[in-house]
Structure 1
Amino acid sequence: MNIKDLPFLPQYFDAYIVRIPDDISLADAFEQYSPEKIFGDTDNLLRLGDRVYAPRKWTVKDILQHCIDTERIMSFRALCISRGETVSLPGFEEKTYAQNTVAASRTVEDLLEEYKTVRSATEMLFQHMSRDMILRVGTANNLRITPLALAFMLLGHAVHHKIVLEERYYPIISQ
């Protein structure tokens, strides 16, 4: 299954989904866009420490925690929809979630280890969905979406944050 198999491109999530090539299989995308590969530049992450490129922006630790939280939420949505849930699943307010973590007291290495563990569970969830299950349409945050779209969304979401780090955060390391 790949992006071309999506019955439609869901609004809002399309900005993340399009960050993944449309000809890559989901299994290959999980391999190519693993947390180790996306956030593997640990030296730069550690050099950044708690510095941010502008006031009120997230630290590297906050970004990693946000990616973990988002992956858990998208995986839960995919599970629910794949199993036939017909109730509209709630949205989540990322800023509220970010304000209610202990990411600041954790290490980058610890957060990356948790992210790898969560990703492993996510991959297994999707590996064991039939074609009908992964293409089932449900509603999350008042948007029609499929588990396949959610999978590519969570992969593209992490790529988005890697790009933000490279473009906005890494330049401040040399300052």
Structure 2
Amino acid sequence: MKKSDLKFIPNFFDRYIALIDDNINLIDGLKTNETIFENVSEKLIQYQDYRYEPNKWTPKEMLQHIIDTERIFTYRALCISRLEPKALLGFDENAYADNSNANHRSIENLLKEFRLVRQSSTILFESFSENMLHKTGICFETKMNTLAIGFVIIGHAQHHINILKERYYTPSV
């Protein structure tokens, strides 16, 4: 299914979905997006402990945030596809970052984890029928469907790559 198949785009998450081409197929997008860090991995190593402002995340913390967020969103997609009747809670991204231990890990290890989590996410989304992709649920007071969550996962990673390029790395990236 393509982004153009979305029947509605959830508020707040529209900024992530907007980063994706309208003709991208969800599964192809997840697979292509799996390699999103390959072109910037050298820069990740170079700037791994850099903070462009006090209290901003390091690239390692940002990468861990992408991994954590993807895990949470795939859980939400699973819940919604299985018709979980309860509203799903949000999470405090800063508390997760503060308690992630990301800065004590290597970039290579974080990238390996990202690829494995993405492969797992891709397999999960491949398992959903078209009907399951259009199921809706509530995630922290926002109506979402499984398909939108898949595109949020792709766009969220792209959003943070853009931040890395704009605020962490030199303009030549």
Please indicate, yes or no, whether the TM-score normalized by the shorter chain is above 0.5: yes
Provide the C-alpha distance between the structure 1 equivalents of 2:155 and 2:60, rounded to a whole number of angstroms.
Answer: 19
Matches within 5 A, 1:45-124: 45-124=44-123
What is the identity, as a one-letter code, of the residue corresponding to 2:133? I
Following the alignment from structure 1 to structure 2, what is the Cα–Cα distance between the partners of residues 9 and 43?
Answer: 35
Separation in 2, partners of 1:12, 1:78: 17
How far did residue 172 of structure 1 move?
Answer: 8.8
Match of 2:33 in 1: 33
Helix, strand or coil at the partner of 2:23:
coil
Q: What is the match of residue 5 of structure 2?
A: 5
Map Cα deviations across residues 44-77 of structure 1 (whole Å, 9 max, x no partner): 1111130111111100110010000000000000
Kindly indicate whether residue 152 of structure 2 is the aligned counterpart of residue 160 of structure 1.
no
Q: In structure 2, what residue type is equivalent to 1:11?
A: N
Distance 1:100 1:172 in 2: 31
The TM-score, its normalising length taken from structure 2, stands at 0.96
8 Å CA contact retained: 2:31, 2:122: no
Determine if contact 2:47/2:168 at 8 Å carries over to the other structure. yes
Contact 1:53–1:172 at 8 Å: present in 2 too?
A: no
Deviation at 1:22, TM superposition (A): 1.1
2:165–2:171 contact (8 Å) kept in structure 1: no
1:148 corresponding residue in structure 2: 147
Residue 23 (structure 2) pairs with residue 23 (structure 1): yes
Aligned alpha-carbon RMSD (Å): 1.3
- Counterpart-to-counterpart distance in 1, 2:26 and 2:171: 34
2:11 corresponds to which letter in structure 1? Answer: Q
For residues 131 and 43 of structure 1, the distance between their equivalents in structure 2, rounded to whole angstroms, comes to: 39
- Cα distance in 2 for partners of 1:172, 1:151 equals 30
Instruction: Mark the runs of 5 or more structure 1 residues left unpaired by the alignment.
Output: none
- TM-score if structure 1 supplies the norm length? 0.94
- 1:2-51 Cα offsets, whole Å, 9 max, x none, are 111111010001100111111111122112211x2x11121111111301
- Identical aligned residues as a percent: 43
CA displacement 1:85-138 (0-9 Å, x = unmatched): 111000111111111111011000000000111011100000010011011011
Quote the offset at 1:171 in angstroms: 2.3
